[in-house]
């Protein structure tokens, strides 16, 4: 199968909110982002689907070697073959890809994270670094945009953690820091048993507040001159933040069901956000011209 087609099918099959934002990119950016997303899915699926830890570690090690082959221009896998063409157009650092694999391997080292210190490292590796790679693909002028991209990655990951509490618990995992469970007097066993309580709601609300703070921090860091080039991230932000708001509006009942947006609603949010940023950019350029 053609490498780009392989990545396209991998991305489309996931139904991720990321895919809707890719629709508004130029062809080279779209190809690069789909290849990057497919890579993330490949290494994440290893941890999620391998029942034997030793096999998962062996497969992740294969990907470490494959990334080295990619940057030596000798890739073997369809995803890395697709990424090779991206390297010709964008400054994508090898160490970032290796760090993403480091993050995925943390899931083999931790079934639960003792505190936000450890979880923060995990979020940086599996999401903040992806944000930095994405910013390179979208383009930027001001290096403050990298702070925005990293923090936005954190916000997305924290949103996913809250949304997917039940799914992760069914896999035997808890991503909410254990010391925060203790602070809210929530036994880990209650999460595994899907046992909802007022204390549980307060715990989940605290996680939502942390995620919201990262959205705010990210948006406050984004320079106006880079807003339009980074509009793909802003589209993703609008979709993810809407999901977070829906979790809150539902009373944080994440242990009973998974909150998600319909494809049509995601597409509407993507179009509306893109249109808003297009208008804002036209206004910014008009003001610059009149200065």
Q: Encode the chain (291 residues) as per-residue pLDDT tens digits.
A: 688 899 888 877 766 677 777 777 899 999 999 999 999 999 999 988 888 899 999 999 999 999 999 999 999 999 999 999 899 899 999 999 999 999 999 999 998 999 999 999 999 999 999 999 999 999 999 999 999 999 999 999 999 999 999 999 999 999 999 999 999 999 999 999 999 999 999 999 999 999 999 999 999 999 999 999 999 999 999 999 999 999 999 999 999 999 999 989 999 999 999 999 989 888 888 888 887
> pTM for the whole thing?
0.93
pLDDT at 20: 75
Query: How many angstroms separate the CA atoms of 251 and 115, rounded?
Result: 25
pLDDT at 16: 67
- Architecture per CATH, domain 1-109, reads as Orthogonal Bundle (1.10)
pLDDT at 290: 80
Query: How many angstroms separate the CA atoms of 56 and 48, rounded?
Result: 9
Q: Which fold has domain 111-283?
A: Farnesyl Diphosphate Synthase (1.10.600)
- CB under 8 A, 24+ apart: contacts of 76-82: 77/42, 78/1, 78/2, 78/3, 78/6, 78/7, 79/3, 79/6, 79/7, 79/10, 79/35, 79/38, 79/39, 79/42, 80/39, 81/3, 82/3, 82/4, 82/6, 82/7, 82/31, 82/34, 82/35, 82/38
> Where do the CATH 1.10.600.10 domains begin and end in the chain?
1-109, 111-283
E-assigned strand segments in the chain: none
Phi/psi class of residue 168: alpha, beta or left (left: φ > 0; alpha: ψ in -120 to 50)?
alpha
pLDDT at 15: 62
């Amino acid at each position: 199968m053609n490498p780009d087609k392989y990545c396209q099918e991998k991305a489309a099959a996931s139904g991720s909110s990321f895919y809707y934002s890719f629709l508004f990119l130029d062809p080279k950016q779209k190809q690069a982002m789909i290849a990057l997303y497919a890579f993330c899915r490949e290494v994440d699926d290893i941890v999620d689907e391998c029942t034997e830890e030793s096999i998962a570690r062996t497969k992740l090690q294969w990907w470490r070697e494959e990334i080295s082959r990619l940057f030596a221009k000798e890739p073997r896998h369809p995803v890395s073959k697709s990424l090779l063409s991206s390297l010709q157009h964008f400054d994508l650092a090898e160490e970032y890809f290796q760090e993403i694999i480091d993050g995925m391997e943390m899931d083999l080292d931790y079934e639960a994270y003792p505190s936000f210190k450890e979880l923060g490292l995990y979020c940086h590796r599996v999401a903040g670094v992806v944000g930095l790679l994405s910013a390179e693909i979208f383009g930027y002028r001001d290096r403050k945009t990298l702070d925005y991209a990293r923090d936005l990655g954190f916000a997305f990951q924290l949103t996913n953690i809250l949304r997917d509490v039940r799914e992760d618990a069914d896999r035997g995992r808890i991503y909410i820091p254990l010391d925060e469970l203790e602070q809210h007097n929530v036994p880990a066993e209650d999460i595994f048993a899907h046992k909802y309580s007022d204390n549980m709601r307060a715990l989940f609300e605290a996680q939502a507040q942390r995620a919201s703070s990262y959205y705010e921090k990210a948006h406050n860091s984004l320079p106006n001159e880079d807003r339009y080039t980074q509009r793909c991230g802003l589209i993703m932000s609008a979709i993810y933040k809407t999901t977070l708001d829906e979790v809150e509006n539902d009373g944080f009942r994440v242990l009973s069901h998974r909150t998600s947006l319909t494809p049509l609603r995601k597409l509407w949010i993507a179009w509306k956000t893109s249109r808003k940023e297009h208008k804002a950019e036209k206004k910014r350029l008009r003001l610059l011209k009149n200065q």
